[in-house]
Amino acid sequence: MCIRDRTVGIDMGLKSFLVTSSGEEVAIPQHYRKAEKRLVRLQRQLSRKKKGSKRRAKAVKRVALAHQKVANQRKHFHCTTALWLLGKGKAIAHEDLNIKALAKSRLAKSHADAGWSQFLQILSIKAERAGCLTVAVNPNGTTQNCSGCGVKVPKTLSQRWHSCACGEELSRDTNAAINVKNLAVGHPVRKSSGNVRRSSGSH
């Protein structure tokens, strides 16, 4: 079996947590979003408590436990998803995301809720333990370029379908995941080669 057959490309986003190069989709759980109303309510209750009082100390503990629950749910989801991916290939290719830039974007809260940095770190650690690889590639062009012929097919954020004159028809996320996979195995779909880097740590 060649390296291409053993590699799975993934496209990570906010509509779906990730989509694989074979078109499989993992829904985004939004743990923080689902708990946000309760967290706001607990924070308000805390703000009403007198500083130094026992009631305030209890309120602080309730807020901390609520945040910890969200963090634990997110980590469990990341671990489960990483193991699921590693069951599909010996190498997992993903975009080399600029986490710091995402944290400053208008969708910062959604990116933080997804927890990309933690997920990629967990994926890398579990891949190493399983004798597998994670491969980070330059994401430039992976969304807009056709995975079939390499021609740029401009799409707005609201356009979720990739349709190329060459006849390639598939979801934009699957198209991007295939491009990520192609870059990882050394077959870029555009004239300038992608920046392929093997990874053993977080990104």
Smallest Cα–Cα separation from 181: which of 10, 25, 16? 10
Structural tokens at position 165: 């004159």
Options 95, 96, 113, 168, the catalytic residue = 95
Distance CA 177, CA 123 (A): 17
Q: Judge whether 113 counts as a catalytic residue.
A: no
In this structure, the dihedral spanned by the alpha carbons of residues 47, 52, 56 and 60, taken in order and rounded to 10 degrees, is 90
Options 11, 113, 128, 169, the catalytic residue = 11
Q: Judge whether 169 counts as a catalytic residue.
A: no
Contacts of 139 (CB under 8 A, 6+ apart): 95, 96, 97, 180
Q: Judge whether 96 counts as a catalytic residue.
A: no
Contact 178, 143 (CB under 8 A): no
Catalytic positions, written as ranges: 11, 95, 173
